[in-house]
A = this chain, B = another copy of it.
Amino acid sequence: MEEVERLWNEVRELSLGNNSKVERLQTPPTALQFLRDFVNPNKPCIISNAINHWPALSLWAQAQHSYLSRSLSSSSVSLHLTPSGRADALAPLPSSPSSLCFASAHVQRTPFPDALRLIASPDHNPAVVAYAQQQNDCFRSEYSALAADCDPHIDWATEAFGGALPEAVNLWIGNQRSHTSFHKDHYENLYAVVSGEKHFILLPPTDVHRLYIRQYPAATYRYSSDTGEFDLELEEPIRYVPWCSVDPFPPPEKLHEEVSKFPLYFNGPKPFECTVKAGEILYLPSMWFHHVRQSSGDGGCTIAVNYWYDMQFDIKYAYFNFLQSIHYRSPSLLLPEKFSEETDSDPDCL
């Protein structure tokens, strides 16, 4: 089935470019340009000078994030705690460390000033990584005190997508210890960085086989503030989550093993990589796989707001499902038996 590899290459040659770079716009596009040149071809871009007018850009970057502390002094927010900075990511099963589970963070409602202290001073407690985020429209709920600091929607995107406001607007306050593992969303995503930098690795939906989506049992971290330690508990009854198996930055001692387990990722076309700086917006098209790291701004935090718009479930989505239904393994690098047994996945859940 070299047809699958031909598809990876053709979509780059025809549309995305072969240099693995994300296109940059110096000014916001019109709705029509955005729709025609990026949404329609399902192609990412970075837009500069689109949010220069947001008060957030200067206010949120104040020393010690004093404006944020003051504005949210009486708010409680959803704080995600993990031992490693990797939530919604694969982790060794506590009962059988050679197997992996899909580990979610310990989430606790926390007074915002306490949350900010944990995030902005990561060295203070190295055993706990804190990330203030909740992908449930949190910017318009938990953080409503900040509503006037950003636009409620991205006007040219709203117009392009048909006029409906975003389905969700989420705020992300983290530090360089937090990573987001490879996954895709069934939304069109406008991702605006307000403070610090976000580093994205992107793969188009046509590369789906390169992520080795497998079923993993769901588990959740439980944090005890008494002991300061985490437990990782499997959900009962067991629930399986389809998730990408590839970590693009394996520890050096595991690199060789990971490359031989996931040759389609490591030996295939170079992923798209980009850094989105404060003041820039990434258009992250629906169904693109993305892995995210971050560098902190002056105040110690990376802060971003993202807008999720409903995607069109059309011929592209149907083609994606067809592609994903095709079993494919590299002809030259067959995988160990235990991987080939688990190739089914549920595209609706990832």
Contacts and interface: CB of A to CB of B under 8 A. Distances in A.
A3 B326 CA distance: 8
Interface string A320-350: 1111011000000000000000000000000
A128 to B, nearest CB: 42
A135 interface: no
A247 interface: no
Contacts of A312: 15, 36, 40-41
A315 B316 contact: yes
A318 B4 contact: no
A50 B41 CA distance: 27
A204 interface: yes
A7 interface: yes
Nearest to A162: B36
Contacts of A313: 14-15
Contact of A14 (B11, B36, B318): B318
A43 B316 CA distance: 12
A31 interface: yes
A32 interface: yes
Contacts of A315: 11, 14-15, 41-43, 204-206, 316
Contacts of A40: 35, 39-40, 312, 314
Nearest to A287: B315
A6 B325 contact: yes
A322 B15 contact: no
A159 interface: yes
Given A32-B31, A32-B35, A316 B316 contact: yes
A13 to B, nearest CB: 9
Contacts of A54: none
A32 B160 contact: yes
A240 interface: no
Contacts of A36: 35, 160-162, 312
A323 B319 contact: yes
Interface centre among A32, A204, A206 (most CB of B within 10 A): A32
Contacts of A161: 36
A206 B318 contact: yes
Interface in A1-29: 3-4, 6-7, 10-11, 14-15
A268 to B, nearest CB: 15
Contacts of A162: 36
A67 interface: no
A346 to B, nearest CB: 15
Interface in A128-178: 159-162
A328 to B, nearest CB: 11
A314 B42 contact: yes
Interchain residue pairs A-B with the least CB separation, the first 3: A41-B314, A319-B319, A11-B318
12 contacts: A4-B322, A6-B325, A11-B314, A14-B315, A15-B312, A32-B32, A35-B36, A39-B40, A40-B40, A41-B314, A206-B319, A315-B316
Given A7-B318, A15-B314, 4 more contacts: A4-B322, A14-B313, A204-B315, A205-B315
